[in-house]
């Protein structure tokens, strides 16, 4: 599979027809647009780290068959978001918000490690 680095905001004004893997504990989410473009959100795991979907808030079906009006990423590694428990030595929460006219979904990824490994989420287009 050949990929290129993409921006999450590349989904703006695209219409998603298929979303696969958007559930807690998933380590990969696939998006397919009405144009046939394919995107993958994941993290290549290394020895002493874990990066996975912690939570999905909203109805994923609201994102299908309607143009994406919002596609935002925010990262929190300096402070613990309200209501979250600090998981270990090093952690990064990455929040992705997608919205259409039908509703919004927020995907919360959690990356944990000893501090020597990446905790980031990759977003790529499959070409």
What's the CA gap between 46 and 31, in Å, rounded? 24
pLDDT confidence of residue 51? 87
What's the CA gap between 75 and 42, in Å, rounded? 15
The full set of domain ranges for the chain reads 3-126
Residue 116 phi, psi (nearest 5)? -105, 0
Strand partners, 103: 100
Separation in Å, CA 33 to CA 18, 29, 68 = 7, 13, 10
Strand partners, 34: none
What's the CA gap between 81 and 93, in Å, rounded? 8
> pLDDT digits over 65-102, tens only?
999 999 999 987 666 656 666 656 678 889 999 999 99
Structure tokens at 53: 């979907």
> pLDDT digits over 16-73, tens only?
999 999 999 999 999 999 999 999 999 877 777 788 999 999 999 999 999 999 999 9
E strands, the chain, are 3-5, 16-20, 28-33, 38-42, 49-57, 70-76, 90-100, 103-113, 122-126
- Contact by Cβ (8 Å): 54, 109: yes
């Amino acid at each position: 599979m050949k990929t290129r680095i993409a921006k999450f905001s590349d989904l703006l004004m695209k219409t998603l027809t298929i979303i696969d893997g958007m559930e807690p504990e998933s380590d990969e989410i696939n998006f397919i647009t009405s144009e046939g473009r394919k995107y993958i959100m994941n993290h290549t795991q290394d020895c002493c780290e874990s990066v996975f979907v912690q939570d999905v808030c909203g109805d994923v079906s609201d994102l299908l068959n309607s143009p994406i009006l919002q596609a935002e990423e925010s990262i929190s590694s300096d402070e613990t978001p309200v209501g979250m428990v600090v998981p270990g030595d090093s952690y990064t929460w990455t929040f992705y918000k997608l919205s259409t006219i039908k509703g919004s979904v927020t995907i919360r990824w959690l990356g944990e490690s000893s501090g020597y490994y990446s905790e980031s989420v990759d977003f790529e287009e499959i070409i």
